[in-house]
């Protein structure tokens, strides 16, 4: 999906009060009240379109967007009940950012399927309802596959969905961190954002790490196998290419994202390199080939060194202790089967 098609009108990068001058009056409501005491951060806020919507918009981004469908309204209400945006703002509270990071959930462009994204012009993370609906369908299908054939490791529907949802948020947060902290990135930024999505949950204990990594990896394994036989086989296409003629041809590899299979293997390798005991079953089951696994510790150490040098100085360590001590997933969301 072309991010330019769904960006709001570009505004200048400036301090909060100055930036507000360039925003439409209807979009200047910032929601703080729903964030738990002790976890507020004035630089991480939920961005209301209508007063009291808590950042969960009833429309897409366009000024003339219609109200979302009943199905997406029900999804929105589930997100609000789970406090998805609020909890994520609380999770990110240790970050000390030079600019304000805005977060919303919306119908994005209003199309059948939109990808979540970080908008650098507005310093905004947008989680698209259509993506969440599609992720729920993917989780349902993977659970069905688990009942008819042996997958690599046991996984529940709730764990699949929660892990995928969290990994996507962390990926987009990676883009936000690179932008807001001016972090230099060698190679493709999309790969670096994937690495961020894998690295962060590894700092939060076994249950959190396995939920996020499994949700991420199973989703990309499924994406790699789409259009082939029903088994999660060898990927040959990039199903995410926005150009139909590129989905089944060599030019699918021109995308700024890695192929689905590469993204899967990279994240599993980093997980295994960071915690070989917790993710040993990934190797034992053949999900991660031994040839790649033997060098994963070094890959993780390189990532850790880069994170410590570029991002760690912007993390409040006392606040991080509070965040790490808190449980972020429900018992159902960490249940493996």
Out of 17-21, 100-104, 145-149, 224-228, least confident range: 17-21
pLDDT at residue 50 is higher than 80: yes
Structure confidence at residue 80 as a pLDDT band (50, 70, 90)? very high
Mean pLDDT for the stretch of residues 150-167: 86
Distance CA 91, CA 234 (A): 36
Task: For residue 151, give the nearest of 242, 231, 244 by alpha carbon.
Answer: 231
pLDDT at residue 101 is higher than 70: yes
Structure confidence at residue 138 as a pLDDT band (50, 70, 90)? confident
Tally of CB atoms within 10 A around 215: 28
Mean pLDDT for the stretch of residues 264-278: 95
The predicted-structure confidence for 218-261, as pLDDT tens digits, reads as follows 888 777 666 443 344 433 444 555 555 555 555 656 666 767 78
pLDDT at residue 320 is higher than 60: yes
Out of 72-76, 187-191, 233-237, least confident range: 233-237
Mean pLDDT for the stretch of residues 117-123: 94
Of residues 248 and 215, more confidence is placed in 215
Distance CA 329, CA 305 (A): 28
Tally of CB atoms within 10 A around 82: 14
| pLDDT value for 222 | 74
**Domain definitions of the chain by residue range:** 1-132, 151-332
Q: Rounded mean pLDDT of the chain?
A: 82
Structure confidence at residue 70 as a pLDDT band (50, 70, 90)? very high
Of residues 222 and 273, more confidence is placed in 273
Mean pLDDT for the stretch of residues 275-280: 95
| pLDDT value for 114 | 79
Structure confidence at residue 28 as a pLDDT band (50, 70, 90)? low
| pLDDT value for 23 | 41
| pLDDT value for 227 | 43
Mean pLDDT for the stretch of residues 308-336: 95
| pLDDT value for 109 | 81
Of residues 65 and 41, more confidence is placed in 41
Whole-prediction pTM value? Answer: 0.83
| pLDDT value for 166 | 92
pLDDT at residue 8 is higher than 70: no
Distance CA 215, CA 333 (A): 10
Structure confidence at residue 150 as a pLDDT band (50, 70, 90)? low
| pLDDT value for 207 | 93
Most confident of 57-61, 80-84, 150-154, 241-245: 80-84
**Are 223 and 260 in contact, with CB atoms under 8 Å apart?**
yes
pLDDT at residue 284 is higher than 80: yes
Cα dihedral angle (65, 69, 72, 78), rounded to 10 degrees? 110
- In sequence order, the 6+-apart residues with CB closer than 8 A to the CB of 194 are 171, 174, 258, 263, 266, 267
């Amino acid at each position: 999906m072309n991010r330019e098609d769904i960006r709001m009108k570009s505004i200048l990068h400036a301090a909060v009060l100055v930036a507000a001058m360039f925003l439409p009056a209807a979009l200047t409501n910032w929601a703080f009240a729903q964030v738990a005491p002790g976890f507020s951060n004035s630089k991480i806020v939920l961005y209301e379109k209508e007063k009291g919507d808590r950042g969960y918009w009833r429309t897409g981004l366009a000024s003339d967007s219609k109200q979302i469908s009943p199905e997406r309204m029900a999804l929105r209400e589930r997100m609000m009940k789970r406090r998805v945006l609020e909890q994520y703002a609380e999770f990110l509270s240790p970050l000390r950012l030079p600019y304000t990071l805005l977060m919303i959930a919306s119908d994005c462009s209003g199309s059948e399927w939109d990808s979540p994204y970080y908008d650098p012009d507005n310093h905004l993370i947008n989680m698209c309802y259509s993506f969440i609906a599609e992720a729920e369908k993917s989780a349902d299908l993977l659970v069905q596959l688990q009942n008819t054939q042996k997958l690599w490791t046991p996984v529940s529907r709730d764990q699949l969905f929660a892990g995928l949802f969290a990994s996507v948020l962390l990926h987009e947060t990676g883009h936000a961190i690179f932008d807001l902290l001016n972090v230099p990135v060698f190679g493709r930024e999309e790969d670096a954002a994937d690495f961020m999505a894998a690295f962060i949950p590894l700092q939060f204990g076994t249950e959190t790490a396995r939920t996020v990594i499994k949700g991420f990896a199973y989703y990309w394994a499924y994406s790699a196998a789409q259009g082939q036989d029903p088994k999660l086989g060898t990927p040959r296409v990039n199903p995410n290419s926005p150009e139909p003629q590129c989905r089944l041809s060599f030019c699918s590899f021109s995308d700024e994202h890695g192929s689905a299979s590469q993204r899967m293997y990279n994240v599993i390798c980093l997980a295994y390199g960071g915690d070989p005991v917790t993710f040993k079953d990934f190797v034992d089951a053949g999900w991660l080939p031994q040839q790649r696994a033997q060098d994963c510790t070094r890959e993780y150490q390189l990532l850790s060194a880069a994170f410590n040098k570029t991002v760690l100085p912007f993390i409040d360590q006392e606040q991080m202790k509070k965040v790490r001590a808190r449980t972020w997933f429900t018992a159902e969301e960490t249940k493996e089967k």
